[in-house]
Amino acid sequence: MANAKEKSSLVITNEYTPVEYDPQYILMVNALKKYFPIKDGLIAHTVGYVKAVDGVTFNLKRGTTMGLVGESGCGKTTCGRTILRLSGEKTGGQVLFNGQEVYDLTAKEMRALRPKMQIIFQDPFSSLSPRLPVGEIIGEAVREHNLVPAKEFDDYIDDIMDKCGLQPFHKDRYPHEFSGGQRQRICIARALALNPEFVVCDEPVSALDVSIQAQIINLLKELQEQFKLTYLFISHDLSVVEHISDSVGVMYLGDLVEYGSTDDIFSNPLHPYTEALFSAIPIPDPDAKMKRIVLEGSIPSPANPPSGCKFHTRCARCTERCKVETPCQHEVEPGHYVVCHLYDEE
Amino acid sequence: MAKKTNDGYLSAKEARRISRENRKITNAYEKNRKRKNVPESEYLTQMRDWNNSVEFDDLHTYFFTDAGTVKAVDGVSYDVPIGKTVGVVGESGCGKSVTSLSLMQLLQRPQGQVVSGEIRLNMGNGKAYDVTKAPNEVLQKLRGNYVSMIFQEPMTALNPVFRIGDQINEVIELHDGEGKTEAEIKARTIELLEMVGIANSEGVYKMYPHELSGGMRQRVVIAMALACNPRIIIADEPTTALDVTIQAQILDLLRNLKDKINSSIMFITHDLGVIAEMADYVVVMYAGRIVEKGTADDIFHHPAHPYTIGLMASKPVVGKKIDKLYSIPGKVPNPINMPDYCYFKDRCEKQCARCSGEYPGTIKLSDTHEVSCYLYYDGKEDA
């Protein structure tokens, strides 16, 4: 009996209503789940799961930018990587890229799709191979995927480097010879060299200085217009997200608690967590008086999340119901979704 | 290895020559520092204003590296008044951390040396010490009791193999432990942990750093810094590694604690938002020099130096819609080969003919507001 009970905590429910493909969206994510098993004991059997992404649903329109914000450990990066099929198999849900379920593809089909979806990593100091010259870092994937004829290869790389603000003579240099901002330009050039449609930007500016940040953000925006790119912009810096995004998703402990257009979210935050998060942004004006909502404590462990609404342990407006019942998604205004019991319809 | 271009690289012979010369210079400094029984009169000094807790006066801190001399801090003067918070802003590599390390005398020696200038520390009893000349035994008493530091990375500032309690006990034993029993020291540690808002203080006392979250670790580092009631706390980017919600908690904590033990804070960060919230006075540094200083109101409402203006424009602000962010063109000049004109000239949009002359002196715009820029030379006398 005890054995059966133990096993019930390991059962993964994977219930969702499949979505129909809508051509205006480049990416449709439906109830996406990614759990990492916790292994223990001599034979390393699974004793539980870290629910890094636990049912995330959103759609991303072609040529727009979606910002994904949240505290560290809330699953933003895992969400981005799972969409790109970079962290093994998903646990549940759907990822439709141009209407095609990414996880149904064979290895060969996946390889053909890879150039269409790219990623820019957070830390430009560790994501570039120190042993390859910059030209090779940018050009390696282009050659692997046979995107351009060998004759045009050099010109093609020069062209991409030029668009990303790098000089042709940088090609023979190694990453250690560049500053942080220049390295991030190399990372961007590497992603764009494959002519992608969709780019996940995983905290591309958080390791950079303020003045360099502005250069990189402007560059990303210019390139978006030029190549009609779609970005998923992961960041914990809310002011940067507000500047660059068309829509914003707020994550907390693996859940997307609020999702909507940038204007809606910033002018009218609905979820108590979003409110607290926004009130914590420091404003560069010494006279600004803030009604700050200071959240007590820190983010709970995703291996053992609180019951009911995951935010109830830190929520100022928590009710008895929040502690037991898991809230579901409500569309409060058109296109503005929130997961909270406060907005339940009677 | 043969290099394609000659510029930017040194020949092995040249590097050896520089290294030999450096050793001569640094050995002289080290010899001077290692003297025993230095009389107090040598490092006793007078404060310009006894309401200041620390005065930096024309501080020069150089690093003698094998590639050449890096003037990390090149003539920095500012005051930290008692009970106030001074924010130091600037990009990485502008010398803001080196200034604070000079005050703590924790520079990477023998390469890093304070070559000239004074750092006057108000001892509170009518005495003032020049920490750049004070011998090691005296410094040991100053650190912790008078000056203490909150380090940037709470993940690396704590030792992973010792318990939290032992690490804080050590600070108290070392700096303020005379005549205290073990039980007293433990009681003080528990009190400190409670003061920084750790609820389960007895439990945390026995924990190792890896068992705590980033915010909790930063609280422990703050508790360590406050252990001996220092008169001045240097907070070196204390919230950079933290999330906004945790950052708000830590800033609240620092503000409350400052009032409780009535000390001054030197707050080092590159986040202008945090500075605006915390600081009474602001110092803006660029390439080892102060380009502008004043009250928070001066700097945020009437920024004068083109660098300060650029820095503010390049940070997106929530609630302000702009199409394109302003970005300061170019990059910081090479610290080994600084130009002999204004360091910001090559990136400045408002440069004029005078900017090619020598580095501009400071101009007083008001009683509290000073700027180093030729734009403000007309009609104002040199300060």
What is the secondary structure of B151-181 as a DSSP string? -S-HHHHS-TTS-HHHHHHHHHHHHH-TT--
Q: Does A291 touch chain B (CB under 8 A)?
A: no
Q: Are strands A336-339 and B44-45 parallel, antiparallel or unpaired?
A: unpaired
Facing residue for B91 by CB, picked from A211, A281, A299: A211
Asked if the ipTM is above 0.95, the reply is: no
Q: What is the 3-state secondary structure (H, E, C) of A55-92?
A: EEEEEEECCCEEEEECCCCCCHHHHHHHHCCCCCCCCE
Answer yes or no: is pLDDT of B281 > 90. Answer: yes
Give residue A330's identity as a one-letter amino acid code.
H
- How confident is the model over A278-291, as pLDDT tens digits? 888 888 887 776 66
Which site among B244, B285, B321, B369 would you substitute to test the A interface, given the most A Cβ atoms closer than 10 Å to its Cβ?
Answer: B244
- A122 vs B282: which has the higher pLDDT: B282
Q: Which residue do the tokens 């205004």 mark?
A: A333
Residue-wise pLDDT for B290-342, tens only, equals 999 999 999 999 999 999 999 888 888 877 778 888 888 877 787 888 888 88
| pLDDT tens, position by position, B216-274 | 888 899 999 988 888 899 998 888 777 888 888 888 888 888 888 888 999 998 888 88
The contacts found for B237-242 with CB under 8 angstroms, 24 or more apart, are B237/B152, B237/B268, B237/B269, B237/B270, B238/B150, B238/B151, B238/B152, B238/B267, B238/B269, B239/B269, B239/B271, B239/B274, B240/B152, B240/B269, B240/B270, B240/B271, B241/B152, B241/B153, B241/B154, B241/B155, B241/B214, B242/B214, B242/B215, B242/B218
- In this complex, which of B245, B271, B317 lies closest to A280 when CB atoms are compared? B245
* Rg of chain A, C-alpha, whole Å: 22
pLDDT bin (cut points 50, 70, 90) of residue A2 is: very low
Both tokens assigned to B305: 């130096």
Q: Nearest Cβ partner of B271 from A279, A282, A294?
A: A282
Over residues B54-73, the mean pLDDT reads 90
Distance (Å, rounded) from C-alpha B73 to C-alpha B222?
26
When computed from its CA atoms, the radius of gyration of chain B, rounded to whole angstroms, is 22
Per-residue pLDDT, averaged over A196-213, amounts to 87
In terms of Cα–Cα distance, which of B7, B5, B6, B3 is closest to B337?
B7
Helix (H/G/I), strand (E/B), else coil: B307: helix
Contact A92, A17 (CB under 8 A): no
Q: Give me the phi and psi of A135, to 5 degrees please.
A: -60, -40
For residue A268, give the chain B residue with the closest CA. B319
How does residue A328 score in pLDDT terms, banded at 50, 70 and 90? confident
- Report DSSP state, residue B354: G
Return the axis-axis angle of helices A272-279 and B244-261, rounded to nearest 10°: 50
> Can you give the pTM of this predicted structure?
0.85
Task: Give pLDDT tens digits for B175-193.
Answer: 887 888 999 999 999 999 9
Residues 311-340 of B with CB under 8 A from A: 311-312, 314-319, 322, 324-328, 331
Interface of A with B in 31-90 (CB under 8 A): 71-72
Instruction: Classify strands B128-130 and B112-122 as parallel, antiparallel or unpaired.
Output: antiparallel
Q: Amino acid identity of A107?
A: A
Give the burial class of B89: count Cβ atoms within 10 A of its Cβ; 0-12 exposed, 13-18 middle, 19 or more buried.
buried
What's the pLDDT score for residue A290? 65
Confidence class of residue B62 from pLDDT cuts 50, 70 and 90? very high
Which residues in chain A have Cβ-Cβ distances shorter than 8 Å to B297? Answer: 286-287
Q: Quick one: tokens of B153? A: 């990375």
Q: Does B153 contact chain A (CB < 8 Å)?
A: no
Given a contact cutoff of 8 angstroms between Cβ atoms, the answer to whether A65 and A201 are in contact is no
Provide the chain A residues 95-154 that lie in CB contact (below 8 A) with chain B.
none
Query: For chain B, first and last CA: distance in Å?
Result: 51
SS3 of A304, please?
coil
Cα separation of A2 and B22, whole Å? 73
Tokens at residue B262, please? Answer: 């009535």
- A43-47, A63-67, A148-152, B159-163: segment of lowest average pLDDT: A43-47
Q: Searching chain B, which residue's CA lies closest to the CA of residue A235?
A: B243
pLDDT of residue B80: 93
Pairwise CA distance, residues A172 & A181, whole Å: 18
d(CA B143, CA B230): 8
User: Alpha helices, DSSP H only, in chain B?
Assistant: 12-33, 40-43, 96-104, 136-145, 154-157, 164-176, 182-195, 201-205, 214-226, 244-261, 272-278, 296-301, 306-313
* A286 in B contact zone (CB under 8 Å): yes
